[in-house]
Structure 1
Amino acid sequence: MKKYIVLLSLSLFGFAQQTPAPKQTKSILILNAKAHLGNGQVIENSLISIVDGKIAAIGDATVMRVAAHDVTIDASGKHVYPGFIAPNSTLGLVEIDAVRASDDESEIGEFNPHVRSIIAYNSESKLVETTRPNGVLIAQITPRGGRIPGSSSIVQLDAWTWEDATIKVNDGIHLNWPKSYSRAGWWAEPGGIEINKNYEPQTKSIQEYFESAFAYLGSKNTKKDIPFEAMNGLQSGQKTLYINANGEKEIIDAVLFKKKNNIKNMTIVGGYYAFRVAPLLKENNVSVLLKRVHDLPLLEDEDVNLPYKNAKLLVDAGVLVGLENAGDMERMQTRNLPFYAGTCAAWGLSKEQALQLISGNTAKILGIDEQYGTLEAGKSATLFISEGDALDMKSNLISLAFIDGRNISLDSHHTELYKRYKEKFEQAKK
C-alpha cells in the first residue's frame, strides 16, 4: 500500500520547480527598449543599469551615458516592464484542490488574526512558476476562511524557501465583512436572494472584537493574548486592514468602521460596487483591490460589461486601484493578471493607467512601493523584457525576467510539455 501512495504522490506533485537564480554578480545594461515605468510614464528608447540587484540608473539612451557593464542587452524593438504584483493570492498555499494534504489556505475558527500565511507558503509550488512567464513576479500570500482569516505577507516568486521569498512579513490583517443579503436555496434558483437578518449582530461582533483587541493593546496586561497581539499596528499604520466587501452598504459600513476605530490604512478587497461610493473612499483615503475583471456581473439585470468598466470608474474618481484575482481556480488564473489589466485598457483606461493597476498602484496599496512596482533608480531591479505588449495575451512573450537583479528561469511544467509535444509533431512530419 505504501508503494502505491508514493507513486500517487509523485504523479500528483511531480518534481520541484526550477532552481532559483543565484545572486547578481555581474552588472547588466539594458539598452534601446521601450520602458513602461509603472507610474504612467514611458521612455521610448531607454537605458537601464542594474548593479547589485538595484536599478543604478534609468533614462533616455540617446542622451544618457554610463560606464561599461559586464553584460549588455540590446532590447531594440522590445518592451521593459516592472514585475507585476498579484495581491490577495493563495498562490503556494494550495497545490491540488482535491488533495487535502496540499491545501493549507485556512484554519478553523472565526477570528484568527494571528494565523500567518507565510509559514505555509510553498516556494516550490509548480503553480508559482507558471506565473513568471507572464511577468507576475511578486504576490501577496493571503489566508482564507472565517471572519478574520489571518495575516498576509508579500513574497517574490523565485526562492528556495519562504524565508528567502519574503519581501514584507505580516503586512496586514484580512477581514471578511458580512453580507447584507444572503442567498436562499439552490444557487441557480431565480429570486433566491434575501436580506441577511444576522447582518447587524455579525457587524457588532466584529466591533466588539476590535474593541477588545485595542483595549488589550492599550493596557498593561501581563497575560499575553496572541490573537490580540497580532492586531497591533492597525491603528499606527504599520499594518493595513484589508476588508473583503462588494456591496454598497457593506463598503460604506466598512469605511465608518475604519473611522470609528482609528484605523490608519484600509483597503477594500473586491469592491464591485465601490464606484457608487467613490467620493467617500477618496475622502477617507481608502484604496480598492478590484475583484476579478474577467467575470460576470453580480446581478442578472446589470450591464454585462460592468466588470470591465469598473476600474475606469474608480480611477476617474481619484481612487487608488489595483487588481486582484480571488475566486474559482484563482491560483491557476494568477498568470492571467496582465490580461485583466489589458481588458481594463480596452474599456476606457490608457495602457499606462492599466499597467499601474498591477504594478505601481498595487505596490502602494501593499506598502512596498519604496522598492517595487515602478522602474526607478535606487529601487529593486525586479523587471522583465517582453517581445510585445505585456497586457495583450497575443503579444506577451517574455524573453528575460529579473527579480532583485537575478536572471530567473522562465521554464515551467507548461513550457516543458510544450517542448515535449512540439518535438512529437516535428518527428511526425519527418
Structure 2
Amino acid sequence: MKDHIIKYIFSAAVLFAVCTVAVAQPTIYPAKPQQSTISVRGATIHVGNGQIIQQGTLVFEDGKIIYVGEGADAPEAEHTIDAQGKHVYPGFIAPVTNLGLVEVESVRATVDYAEVGENNAHVRSLIAYNADSKVINTLRSNGILLAQVTPQSGLVSGQSSVVQLDAWNWEDAVYLKDDAVHVNWPTVRFSRFGSTNVEEQKDRIKRERVLLEDFLADAKSYASGDQKVFNARLDAFKKVFEGSKKVMVHADKKNDLIAAIQLFKRYAITPTLVGAQEGHLIAPFLKEHGVNVIIHQAHALPGKDDDDVNLPYKQAKLLTDAGVLVAYGMDGFWQQRNLPFMAGTAAAFGLDKEAALATITLNTAKILGVDDRTGSLEQGKDANFFIADGDALDMRGNQLEKAFILGKDVNLDNLHKQLFQRYEHKYSQND
C-alpha cells in the first residue's frame, strides 16, 4: 500500500512537471554584445545631470556613448533609431536591494540575503546573486538597469556589489565588485507582538555597540599591520581604511544617525546612511560631515504619529535643499520596479523634476562609486539607457520601447507581460 502511494505521488509530480513545461512561457535570454554603431535621433534626452536636450541625438558604439547633443555634428552610425516624440533616460539604479538573493521568501533554501551570526563582514552577496531571477525582468521593463545587491542580517551584514541586470551569471553581471560593507546600527527594536522590555533593549544595544567598536579597532589594527594570519572578517574592512570601499550604515533615528557618524569619523571613515528616516532633522550636520543619504521609499507612512503626513514625499527635497546628496532606495526585491515612481512623487512635492531623476540615476551612481561609468548620458560613459514613450517617472508614461545595457539591446519581456497576453488571448476567444 505504501509503495502504491509513493508511486502515485511520483507519477503526479512527473505529470505536473510535464504540464508546467508544456505551458511554460518563452525563455528570455541575455542580449548579445553590441555589434554596430547605433544612433538615437529626435528624442528629448534627459542627461541625468539636470540638462535636457530637445530633439537630441545619442550615438553609441562598443557599449560606450560616443556622442550626445543636438545632432548637427553627430558621427555617422550604421543603424538609426527614430525616437521622435520619445524620451531617453539614463538607466535607473536600485541601491540596497536583495534582488537576486531571494526568489521565494517562505522557503529558507532560496533566501540568501541573511546569514547566521552578528558579524558577517566577510560575506559577499555577489557570489549568491541569481541572474536567472524572474523578478529581474520586471525591473528592466520599468527602466531599472543596475542594482546594488545587498545582504541584510546581523550587526555587520556583509558586502554588497553593483550588478547590471542582463547577464547569464554573477560573473557576467558584476559591475562593481564588493563596493561597500553594510552595518545595521544597534537601536531599539519594537516587537510586533507583545511588549518590548526596555532594560533588555538597553543591554543589547550597549553590547552591540561595544562589539562594533571592538571590531573596528581590530580591523584598523589589522589593516595597518603586516598580518601573518588571514582573517576574512577583518580583511573585509582593509579596503575601507584604504578608501576604496564604502561603509553603509542602516539607521533611522536622529540620535542613532549622529552616533554612527561620530563613531566612524573617529576612524576617518565617512559612512553613507541608509534609511535615515529622521535625516532631515539633522540636515546641516549631514552636510557639514559630507554624509550622503539613501532614503527609504517615498510611498510610506511617516515614522511618527505627529509628523506631517506628506513628510516621506518631501524628505528628498528637504535634504537636497540642505546640500545633502540624496538617492532613493526601496525595501525588498519585488518592489524595486516602482523605484522611478518614488522619484516622481518627490517631483510632485517640490523637488525639481531633473533633480528627482538624479535621485535614481546620477546621485545613486555617485554614492555607489560608479558615476565615472554610468548615471548620466555623457560621452565616454557606458551605454546604459532606455527609450520611453512618455514620462518615465509617472506610471502612466513609463512605457519602455527599448533599453540598452552596455550597448546591448535588452529584451523587455517579462513574466507579467506573458501572463497578461496569455489570459487576454484566453478571454478574447469568448468574444
TM-score by length of 1: 0.93
CA distance in 2 between partners of 1:257 and 1:72 (Å): 54
- Asked if residue 186 in structure 1 is aligned to residue 193 in structure 2, the reply is yes
Is the contact made by 1:293 and 1:307 (CA closer than 8 Å) also made in structure 2? yes
Q: Deviation string for 1:243-298 (max 9, x for gaps)?
A: 000000000001101211111x4200001101111111111111000012111112
Is the contact made by 1:46 and 1:58 (CA closer than 8 Å) also made in structure 2? yes
Aligned partner of 1:255 among 247, 250, 261: 261
Q: CA deviation at 1:219?
A: 1.9
Aligned partner of 2:65 among 50, 55, 64: 55
Question: Residues 178 and 6 of structure 1: is their aligned pair in 2 closer, same or farther, counting only changes over 3 Å?
Answer: farther
Q: Secondary structure at the match of 1:127?
A: helix
CA distance in 2 between partners of 1:21 and 1:375 (Å): 21
> What percent of counterpart residues are identical?
43
Q: CA deviation at 1:428?
A: 2.1
Q: CA deviation at 1:144?
A: 1.2
Paired position in structure 1 for 2:143:
135
Is the contact made by 1:56 and 1:378 (CA closer than 8 Å) also made in structure 2? yes
CA distance in 2 between partners of 1:67 and 1:182 (Å): 58
Paired position in structure 2 for 1:424:
426
Paired position in structure 1 for 2:4:
none
CA distance in 2 between partners of 1:101 and 1:2 (Å): 22
- After superposition, residues 88-237 of structure 1 pair within 5 angstroms as 88-179=96-187, 181-183=188-190, 186=193, 196-198=201-203, 199-237=205-243
- Asked if residue 383 in structure 1 is aligned to residue 361 in structure 2, the reply is no
Q: Deviation string for 1:152-197 (max 9, x for gaps)?
A: 0000000001000000000010000011x3425727x8xx695841
Q: CA deviation at 1:225?
A: 0.9
Q: Return the letter of the residue paired with 1:155.
A: V
Gaps of 5+ in 1: none
Q: State the structure with more CA Rg.
A: 2
Aligned partner of 2:291 among 286, 295, 306: 286
Aligned partner of 2:81 among 73, 80, 85: 73
CA distance in 1 between partners of 2:164 and 2:45 (Å): 21
CA distance in 1 between partners of 2:356 and 2:324 (Å): 14
Q: Deviation string for 1:208-247 (max 9, x for gaps)?
A: 1110111122222211111111111112220000000000
CA distance in 2 between partners of 1:120 and 1:9 (Å): 26
CA distance in 2 between partners of 1:389 and 1:92 (Å): 28
Question: Residues 414 and 212 of structure 1: is their aligned pair in 2 closer, same or farther, counting only changes over 3 Å?
Answer: same
> Which stretches of structure 1, 4 residues or longer, exceed 4 Å deviation after superposition?
1-12, 14-17, 192-195
Paired position in structure 1 for 2:51:
41
Q: Return the letter of the residue paired with 1:222.
A: K
Paired position in structure 2 for 1:268:
273
Paired position in structure 1 for 2:28:
18
Give the CA RMSD over aligned residues: 2.0
Question: Residues 185 and 92 of structure 1: is their aligned pair in 2 closer, same or farther, counting only changes over 3 Å?
Answer: closer
Q: Return the letter of the residue paired with 2:237.
A: M
Q: Secondary structure at the match of 2:418?
A: helix
Gaps of 5+ in 2: 1-8
Paired position in structure 2 for 1:318:
323
| Number of aligned positions between the proteins | 418
Question: Residues 91 and 126 of structure 1: is their aligned pair in 2 closer, same or farther, counting only changes over 3 Å?
Answer: same
CA distance in 1 between partners of 2:372 and 2:26 (Å): 32
CA distance in 2 between partners of 1:15 and 1:422 (Å): 14
